[in-house]
Amino acid sequence: MTFAGFPDEGLVFYEGLEADNSKTYWAEHRALYEAHVRGPVQALADELAPEFGTPKLFRPYRDVRFSHDKTPYKTHQGAVLHLDGRGLGSVYVQVSADGLRVSGGCWRLQPDQVERYRRAVDDDLQGPRLAAEVDGLRRRGWSIDGDRLVRTPRGYAADHPRLSLLQHKVLHASQQWEPADWLQTRTALERVRDAWRQVTKLNQWLADNVGATTAPPDRRR
C-alpha cells in the first residue's frame, strides 16, 4: 500500500470514539479504523522505514489494569521506528482527532542509562552539544519533554549550567500539527520525514552517550 495521506474519515472516526469509547462503537466502525487510520499509518511507516528503521504500530487497546480510566480504546494511533543496532533513540508519529504529532528521542530509560545520560550532560564536551541541539530544536518549534525530577539530581550542583537537562529522566522532542487539508495528501509524509530528520542529531547523541541498557532483564522495571 502506497501512502496517499490521512483521510478525513480517520479523524472523524476518532472524534466519534472520543464521544463514545465503547465496544459497540468500535465494532460498528472498525472497518473505518482499519482503512482510514491503521492502513495509512502502516503505509507511511513502511515507506519511511529504509531511512528511519523498523516500524512498530501500537495496539489500539488501552491497558486498563492499573488505571482508574477504564475506557477500552486509545483515541490515537501511534507508530515508532527504531534503527536496528542503534541501542537508543527512536522516532514516533501519531494521528488523532487533534491532527498529527511527531516526536524523537527516548521515552524510557533504565537506571544505568539515566546514570550515563547525566554523566554525558555533565561532560564539558558532550553536555554543551546536547544543550545546543535542544536549543536549536526549540527554535524550530519543537517542545522538549520527558519525565523530570523537581530537585537537583544527587551529586550535582544546584547551579549547574545544564541543570534542567540533568533533571530529565527521559528526553524527547515533539511537534503537533492541527487538522488541515495537507494531512490528506502525500505532503504529510514529506513533513513527517523532514521533522524526523531534524531530530536525527538528538537520537545520535543519545545512541553515542547513553546506549542500550546493561541491566539484566529481571531488573528492568
Helices marked H in 92-140 — which ranges?
Answer: 111-122, 126-139
Band the pLDDT of 61: cuts 50, 70, 90. very high
- Would you say how long the chain is, in residues? 221
pLDDT of residue 214: 85
Band the pLDDT of 68: cuts 50, 70, 90. confident
| SS3 per residue for 111-122 | HHHHHHHHHHHH
Q: Taking Cα atoms as reference points, which of 65, 108, 111 lies closest to residue 89?
A: 108
Question: If you average pLDDT over residues 61-68, what whole number do you get?
Answer: 86
Set of cell numbers at residue 202: 538528538
Set of cell numbers at residue 128: 554543551
Q: Taking Cα atoms as reference points, which of 153, 168, 156, 177 lies closest to residue 206?
A: 168
Fold of 8-210: BirA Bifunctional Protein; domain 2 (3.30.930)
What is the rounded average pLDDT for all residues in the chain? Answer: 95
Give the integer Cα–Cα distance in Å for 54 and 202. 18
Is 36's pLDDT higher than 90?
yes
Give the integer Cα–Cα distance in Å for 218 and 221. 8
Is 56's pLDDT higher than 80?
yes
pLDDT of residue 217: 65
Distance of alpha carbon 27 from the chain centroid: 28
pLDDT of residue 86: 78
Q: Where are the domains of the chain?
A: 8-210
What's the pLDDT tens digit per position in 149-176? 999 999 999 999 999 999 999 999 999 9
pLDDT of residue 218: 54
What's the pLDDT tens digit per position in 15-35? 999 999 999 999 999 999 999
Matching residue, cell 520527558: 146
Q: Taking Cα atoms as reference points, which of 127, 84, 90, 129 lies closest to residue 107?
A: 90
Report yes or no on whether pTM surpasses 0.85.
yes
Band the pLDDT of 125: cuts 50, 70, 90. very high
What percentage of the chain exceeds 90 in pLDDT? Answer: 89
pLDDT of residue 219: 54
